[in-house]
Chains A and B, each alone.
Chain A
């Protein structure tokens, strides 16, 4: 069984650019959640996708957007990058949105905005 994978591992962008991060969910999982983890902080919820639809969103501006594909992999897009967007971006997959479904995390993408 393949776990959650993310690409790329590291990324360096400049302010104002756009970035796309990718996440492949664990086999059999139809739900993907994205989190932003600033240095020295706990992860913060960005949004969740369930069966290709956005299923909830945290306190992030509209320039953070996402997609989920029929195979349940997902993308996180960030437009007009700001310095404060520098962080580790984590995705987590689960087999549903019930509170009993464990979320399995990927290794993350480290984004640096210069």
Chain B
């Protein structure tokens, strides 16, 4: 079974600074997807960024980028120019590219605080 580990329960950063959230995963599969989701205090989970394992290029979405190291099974999220609205729980998630149900396997989350 696949597992996802987020070793940083809490992180904080000054507004406008850069922060990196860590994620490692374990799988024997070669084809899969990795995600970072944001869950603000209002609770609705929002997709931040997605990476396909077959792509070597790291995904980027505006101020959000990832460092995908397939051999090391590492998938970190970098947030540049942090804003107050970035404060939330961040979850790393894995999804197999095969199988019947496209279930997401989540890590335990990192609570990100932005200091003004």
Contact = CB atoms under 8 A, between A and B. Distances in A.
Going nearest first, the 5 A-B pairs with the smallest beta carbon separation are A56-B101, A42-B106, A105-B45, A45-B103, A48-B101
A107 B96 contact: no
B62 to A, nearest CB: 17
Contacts, number: 71
Interface of B: 4, 6, 32-33, 37, 42-47, 50, 91, 93, 95-109
Interface stretch (A13-21, A76-84, A92-100): A92-100
Nearest to B6: A42
B99 A56 contact: yes
Interface string A48-62: 100000011110000
B91 A42 contact: yes
B107 A42 contact: yes
Nearest to B31: A99
Contact of B101 (A41, A55, A107): A55
Interface of A: 33, 35, 40-45, 47-48, 55-58, 88, 90, 92, 94, 97-103, 105-108
Contacts of B6: 42
B16 to A, nearest CB: 29
A97 to B, nearest CB: 5
B104 A106 contact: no
Contacts of A47: 101
A90 to B, nearest CB: 7
5 contacts: A33-B101, A33-B102, A40-B109, A43-B91, A99-B33
A56 B100 contact: yes
Chain A CB within 10 A, most for which of B44, B47, B98: B44
B99 to A, nearest CB: 7
B103 A56 contact: yes
Nearest to A48: B101
B23 to A, nearest CB: 11
